[in-house]
Amino acid sequence: MKNDDVMNIAKKRGFLWSSFEIYSGVAGFYDYGPLGGTLKNNIMQKWREYYVVGEGYYEIESPTIMPEEALKASGHVDHFTDPLTECKDCLNVFRADHIINDATGKDVEGLPNDELSQILSEEKLMCPHCSGHLTHVWSYNLMFQTIIGSKGKKTGYLRPETAQGIFIPFKRLLRFNRGKLPFGVVQLGKAYRNEISPRQGVIRLREFTQAEAEIFTDPRDKTHPRFADVSDDILNLYSQECQEQGKEPVKLTAQESLDKGVIASEMLTYQLCLALRFLKDLGIPDNVIRLRQHLTSEMAHYAIDCWDVEVETDKYDWIEIIGIADRTDFDLKSHNQYSKEDLRVFIEYPEPKQVKMLQVKPNMSKFGPQFKGDAPKIIEALKDMDASQVKESIDANGEYSLEVNGKTHLLTRDFMDFQEVEETIRGEKIFPHVIEPSFGIDRIIYSVLLHCYQEDDDRTILKLPANIAPVEVNILPLVNKDALNSVAREIHDNLRKNGIIAEYDTSGTIGRRYARSDEIGIPFAVTVDHDTLEDDTVTIRNRDNSKQVRIPIKDVYKTLKCLINLEIKFEELI
RNA sequence: GCGGCUGUAGUCUAGUCUGGUUAGGACUUGGGCCUUCCAAGCCUACGACCCGGGUUCAAAUCCCGGCAGCCGCACCA
């Protein structure tokens, strides 16, 4: 299996291995080795080129440990859990809500545990496996809990996603962007989920790296200024409709998928295109990628539309490596409510609106004596009412009844005056909607390794794009002789001095060294041979087809730099 | 989290059932010889019984516990 070959090389040659090996390891944790660490950095740097440089979304960094309040507001404390129940006889563990749903057809998602337990006993539900008795329902929260401070009074959690770190300082980020929508903010970093039983290698980790962008948009304007740049990009769409009707994914251009309403908005479509371009740059071919729309049932209740970018693998089938969702205003609204901070954005109208409206003016000298301490509250409540309705009621009945804190107060005509005022309204405050591209870096690295891995005849090649390969060039003396070695060494040192990651290898025959070099995806090799000593030329060998071209030593740096940056193709040198 | 199977150098493996010499081999890797372009050959070196406990004169081998991997079940905002 390709997976096994790739993971073998990854382990053997220093890309990836499971952590804590000398202590038997812990499931769900992986180390990046010397090459893996560099590859990961290169990929993250490329991501930044897209989102920070290309889109102008600035990068922030927030703590990986978060206080309970913040995750309470985001919903993770209460809802990032699975309600589990265990069979007392066969000890199997089940999702309690799934058992109830399967047996009764009731949708009980989100009900508290004691209600679920009650339903289990009321409906006399038994273990679906052995018909044994089921225990009371308990929540398994997937967050790692910790303690903040020496007294241990404050509960903290390792963040389950980087996104919350962007929502929380929203006011500052909005101010940084001078109050205007749309704007985006990104964060790359670790996130943590205490998975029950992670057994899918690097696909399901307990500690993993995300790269997320939160794009704050006006809910009424989800366009993108550069949509025209991507409108002809081809998308392989596995829509809700395709999935429900058992059809194959459909290929449409970005423009078509927007026009046909397959994808909810222009911004979302643009983000999907951007993600695909990124993956293409990493060497993942189109034909192993599809965009799968979340089914209504699996989408978060607050989301408008959500698409997973999936990659085909031989071992795990189609895996989600990127999720792009329209999260609407859920997160900001929720943090607004819990923190009591106004997280809305003021949107100015193109033209100020002149609005004529009726205003109530309470007669203070009546209110005070009559209502004493309740007076301020009543006045506050009265001002919130629609003045024209109040006036109507008084004109018709001579009084208006107002309920404040459970007490009903009757207000008559002499408690207030009405005034026609003209007000200028310059805009309104709204919660922006959030479009969120969320990248699983570890899964992307796995996909890159998997799909760059090739066996040509008996050669193993990792065809990493030259601009993300961890080692950029290998310097090889044809045979292990002092005269050749010293020239090779000098070229190696010179390239390093100029910022190119070069390796130097004299061990074994030239063929063996090319093979080792190909296996870790070094895109180019410089070979120093006997002609070099005569005419100061060397050959540059192209990893992907073993072709060589001879160039003067003085041009080596310049040529390699262009090759690595993909400014010229190797074929153009021949 | 449950059940089954498995765990010997970097990798693949012999040995385990039936306890007993220095745990054997191949590939890989390091050093050397040879070598004028794609894993050749020769010499040489390094390198292992998953961890802990028990039984025994003696444990890679038998027993118990743990950890990890694979498979199945369950789970996967």
Runs of H (alpha helix) within A260-363: 266-281, 330-339
**Closest nt to residue A455, judged CA to C1':** B39
Question: A424-458: per-residue pLDDT in tens?
Answer: 888 999 999 999 999 999 999 999 999 999 987 77
Mean pLDDT for the stretch of residues A323-351 = 93
- Residue A506, both tokens: 């004299």
Mean pLDDT for the stretch of residues A554-558 = 97
- Residue A130, both tokens: 């052995």
Determine the distance between A416 (CA) and B25 (C1') in angstroms: 103
Confidence of residue A259 (pLDDT cuts 50, 70, 90): very high
Is the pLDDT confidence value at A537 over 70? yes
Is the pLDDT confidence value at A355 over 80? yes
Does residue A95 reach within 7 angstroms of strand B, measured from its CB?
A: yes
Mean pLDDT for the stretch of residues A36-65 = 97
Does residue A334 reach within 7 angstroms of strand B, measured from its CB?
A: no
> Residue A251, by phi and psi: left (phi above 0), alpha (psi -120 to 50) or beta?
beta
Arithmetic mean of pLDDT over chain A: 89
Mean pLDDT for the stretch of residues A266-282 = 97
Is the pLDDT confidence value at A141 over 90? no
Determine the distance between A326 (CA) and B60 (C1') in angstroms: 58
Does residue A439 reach within 7 angstroms of strand B, measured from its CB?
A: no
Confidence of residue A422 (pLDDT cuts 50, 70, 90): confident
Residue among A288, A284, A276 at smallest CA distance from A230? A276
Does residue A3 reach within 7 angstroms of strand B, measured from its CB?
A: no
The pLDDT, as a whole number, for residue A90 is 58
Q: How many CB atoms lie within 10 A of CB A20?
A: 10
Dihedral in degrees, nearest 10, Cα atoms A33, A37, A39, A43: 150
Determine the distance between A269 (CA) and B59 (C1') in angstroms: 65
Confidence of residue A152 (pLDDT cuts 50, 70, 90): low
The pLDDT, as a whole number, for residue A470 is 97
Determine the distance between A521 (CA) and B9 (C1') in angstroms: 27
Q: A107 versus A420: which is more confidently predicted? A: A420
Does residue A377 reach within 7 angstroms of strand B, measured from its CB?
A: no
The pLDDT, as a whole number, for residue A297 is 75
Does residue A108 reach within 7 angstroms of strand B, measured from its CB?
A: no
Residue among A524, A519, A516 at smallest CA distance from A460? A519
How large a percentage of chain A has pLDDT more than 70?
94
A157-193 b/e with 16+ CB inside 10 Å = b? bbbbbbbbbbbbebeebbeebeeebbbbbbbbbebbb
**Closest nt to residue A129, judged CA to C1':** B73
* Chain A 514..533 CB hits on strand B (< 7 A): 514-516, 519, 527, 529-531
CA distance A208 to A446: 12
The pLDDT, as a whole number, for residue A387 is 75
Confidence of residue A385 (pLDDT cuts 50, 70, 90): confident
Determine the distance between A481 (CA) and B33 (C1') in angstroms: 12
CA atoms within 13 A on the CB side of A565: 9
A476-510 b/e with 16+ CB inside 10 Å = b? bbbeeeeebeebbeebbeebeeeebebbbbeeeeb
Place of tokens 């401070």: A149
* φ, ψ dihedrals at A254, nearest 5°: -60, -40
Domains identified in chain A and CATH numbers:
2-70+146-332+434-440 (3.30.930.10), 81-141 (3.30.40.230), 349-428 (3.30.720.200), 471-573 (3.40.50.800)
Does residue A93 reach within 7 angstroms of strand B, measured from its CB?
A: yes
Contact, A80 vs A205, CB < 8 A? no
Place of tokens 């992307």: A444
**Tally: H helices and E strands in chain A:** 21, 28
> Residue A201, by phi and psi: left (phi above 0), alpha (psi -120 to 50) or beta?
left
The pLDDT, as a whole number, for residue A104 is 75
Is the pLDDT confidence value at A464 over 80? yes
The pLDDT, as a whole number, for residue A180 is 93
Determine the distance between A402 (CA) and B72 (C1') in angstroms: 66
**Closest nt to residue A25, judged CA to C1':** B68
User: What is the crossing angle of helices A482-497 and A556-564, to 10°?
Assistant: 50
Runs of H (alpha helix) within A424-505: 441-452, 482-497
Tell me if residue A553 falls in helix, strand or coil. helix
Question: A155-195: per-residue pLDDT in tens?
Answer: 899 999 999 999 999 999 999 999 999 999 999 999 999 88
Question: A225-241: per-residue pLDDT in tens?
Answer: 999 999 999 999 999 99
Is the pLDDT confidence value at A379 over 70? no
CA distance A517 to A275: 30
Strand B contact nucleotides, protein CB < 7 Å: 1-3, 7, 10-11, 29-41, 50-51, 66-71, 73-77
Does residue A331 reach within 7 angstroms of strand B, measured from its CB?
A: no
Does residue A167 reach within 7 angstroms of strand B, measured from its CB?
A: no
Determine the distance between A516 (CA) and B7 (C1') in angstroms: 29
Residue A383's contacts (CB-CB under 8 Å, 6 or more residues apart) are: A360, A362
Confidence of residue A392 (pLDDT cuts 50, 70, 90): confident
Question: A495-515: per-residue pLDDT in tens?
Answer: 999 999 999 999 999 999 999
